[in-house]
């Protein structure tokens, strides 16, 4: 968007009746830093806590489990560790090895649950010095420091997700992990790690805010969008194609066939969508509390700096305070000190 390759769609979207059927949160995926909409969501995903009911029952944890705070997550993980020493209580990706998975399925669930954020939309500046950033790193330090997660060396393996889906959950060797709404696609018939019992053994819970404050849960979303090139000689025809591709019928087909979260309210209510897998309703409900990554050209380098901070903390190389200070310095180096704001 910053490069000027995409056409601003605001004037056309205002005349498209179907635009009102798209979830307000999902619309954020197509917005640029200037507040304009340059893309329309095709499908999205959410993040939640996936947990193994057998492991939880063996630890004496009441089901269904819906933690109301970070403290409840840690307390639950400690119960699992005490009752089943050979089970990994709670997996949360951290470090550079798992790349964007570290921030989307880990750190951002924590950060946005503190009320803090990465980027201040009003001032168009990157946030530094926030207590929420340090609190999030402190949670990871506790999780890894008390051996409630995998050993740091294993956490840094880029392929750890394969063990999560293909080995640990099916064998009841993992209590819970933070993962995307697409998780069932790995276990369904024809998936990479087909597991007939997943619907019976697994359950999903929203990731809570730090102390249970409003809105009570947090999620992160990615997904796919359709856009129109800024230099097109046929903008109306291109927009017509876009709206046809994203009408109710076509959106439903794409969403079901690709294990996506519906971004249209009429698709979300369709029986065909609701029955796509046992957890559709749970993960779809998280769209109302989800967040999207900042849509700026600086973001990839900022993300890398966050990953470095988490790795420094779980390996014990830096305290949360030191790692947060390193991150602040890195951000200033990437965007310039005048593009940062302390909050």
Residue 192 pLDDT exceeds 70: yes
Cα(first)–Cα(last) distance of the chain, in Å?
Answer: 27
What does the block give as tokens for 173? Answer: 């060797």
As a whole number of angstroms, the distance between CA 253 and CA 287 comes to 19
User: What pTM did the predictor assign?
Assistant: 0.89
Residue-averaged pLDDT of the chain: 95
pLDDT (0 to 100) of residue 15: 96
- For residue 1, the model assigns a pLDDT of 53
The Cα 302–Cα 311 span in angstroms is: 14
pLDDT of 3 reads 67
Which pLDDT value is given to residue 77? 98
Fold for the domain defined by 10-43+224-292: D-Maltodextrin-Binding Protein; domain 2 (3.40.190)
Return residue ranges of the chain for CATH 3.40.190.10.
10-43+224-292, 47-219+297-342
Q: Is 199 exposed, middle or buried (0-12, 13-18, 19+ CB in 10 A)?
A: middle
**In the predicted structure, residue 316 carries a pLDDT above the cut 90:** yes
pLDDT at residue 258 in the model = 75
**In the prediction, which pLDDT does 190 show?**
87
Please write the tens of the pLDDT for every residue from 40-66: 999 889 999 999 999 999 999 999 999
Q: Report the pLDDT value the prediction gives residue 32, as an integer from 0 to 100.
A: 85
pLDDT band per the 50, 70, 90 thresholds, residue 331: very high
pLDDT band at residue 35 under the 50/70/90 scheme:
confident
Give a three-class secondary structure readout of the chain.
CCCCCECCCHHHHCCCHHHHHECHHHHHHHECCCCCECEEEEEECCEEEEEEHHHHHHCCCCCCCCCCCHHHHHHHHHHHHHHCCCCEEEECCCCCCCCHHHHHHHHHHHHHHHCCCCEECCCCEEEECCHHHHHHHHHHHHHHHCCCCCCHHHHCCCCHHHHHHHHHCCCCCEEEEEEECCCHHHHCCCCCCCCCCHHHHEEEECEECCCCCCCCEEEEECCEEEECECCCCCHHHHHHHHHHHCCHHHHHHHHHHCCCECCEHHHHCCHHHHCCCCCHHHHHHHHHHEEECCCCCCHHHHHHHHHHHHHHHHCCCCCHHHHHHHHHHHHHHHHCHHHEEEC
**Per-residue pLDDT reduced to its tens digit, 1-30:** 566 889 999 999 999 999 999 988 788 889
pLDDT higher than 90, residue 145? yes
Which pLDDT belongs to residue 2? 63
Predicted local confidence at residue 284, as pLDDT: 87
Structure confidence by residue, pLDDT tens digits, 268-280: 899 999 988 899 9
Q: In this predicted structure, what is the pLDDT of residue 276?
A: 84
Residues 256-277 have a mean pLDDT of 88
Q: Is the dihedral of CA 298, 303, 309, 311 positive or negative?
A: negative
Domain covering 47-219+297-342: architecture: 3-Layer(aba) Sandwich (3.40)
Which region among 107-116, 154-163, 232-241, 256-265 has the lowest average model confidence (pLDDT)?
256-265
Closest CA to 44 of 60, 64, 58, 29: 29
Mean pLDDT of 121-149: 97
């Amino acid at each position: 968007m910053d490069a000027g390759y995409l056409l601003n769609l605001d004037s056309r979207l205002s005349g498209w009746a179907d635009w009102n059927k798209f979830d307000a949160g999902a619309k954020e995926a197509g917005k640029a830093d200037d507040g304009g909409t340059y893309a329309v969501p095709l499908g999205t995903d959410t993040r939640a806590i996936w947990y193994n009911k057998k492991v939880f029952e063996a630890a004496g944890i009441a089901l269904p489990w819906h933690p109301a705070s970070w403290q409840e997550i840690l307390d639950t993980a400690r119960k699992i560790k005490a009752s089943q020493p050979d089970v990994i209580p709670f997996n949360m990706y951290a470090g550079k090895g798992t790349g964007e998975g570290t921030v989307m399925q880990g750190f951002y669930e924590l950060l946005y649950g503190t009320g803090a954020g990465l980027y201040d939309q009003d001032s168009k500046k990157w946030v530094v010095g926030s207590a929420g950033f340090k609190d999030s790193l402190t949670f990871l330090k506790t999780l890894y420091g008390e051996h409630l997660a995998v050993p740091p060396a294993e956490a840094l393996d880029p392929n750890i997700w394969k063990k999560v889906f293909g080995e640990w959950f099916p064998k009841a060797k993992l209590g819970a992990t933070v993962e995307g709404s697409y998780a069932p696609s790995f276990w369904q018939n024809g998936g990479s790690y087909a597991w007939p019992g997943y619907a019976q053994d697994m359950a999903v819970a929203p990731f809570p805010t730090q102390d249970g404050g409003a809105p009570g849960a947090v999620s992160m979303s990615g997904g796919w969008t359709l856009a129109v090139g800024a230099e097109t000689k046929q903008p109306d025809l291109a927009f017509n194609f876009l709206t046809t591709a994203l009408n109710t019928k076509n959106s439903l087909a794409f969403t079901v066939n690709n294990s996506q979260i519906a971004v249209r309210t009429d698709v979300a209510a369709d029986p065909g969508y609701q029955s796509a897998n046992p957890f559709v309703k749970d993960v779809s409900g998280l769209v109302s509390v989800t967040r999207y990554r900042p849509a700026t050209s600086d973001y990839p380098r900022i993300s890398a700096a966050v990953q470095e901070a988490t790795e420094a903390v779980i390996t014990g190389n830096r305290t949360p305070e030191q790692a947060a200070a390193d991150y602040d310095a890195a951000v200033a180096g990437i965007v310039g000190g005048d593009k940062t704001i302390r909050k």
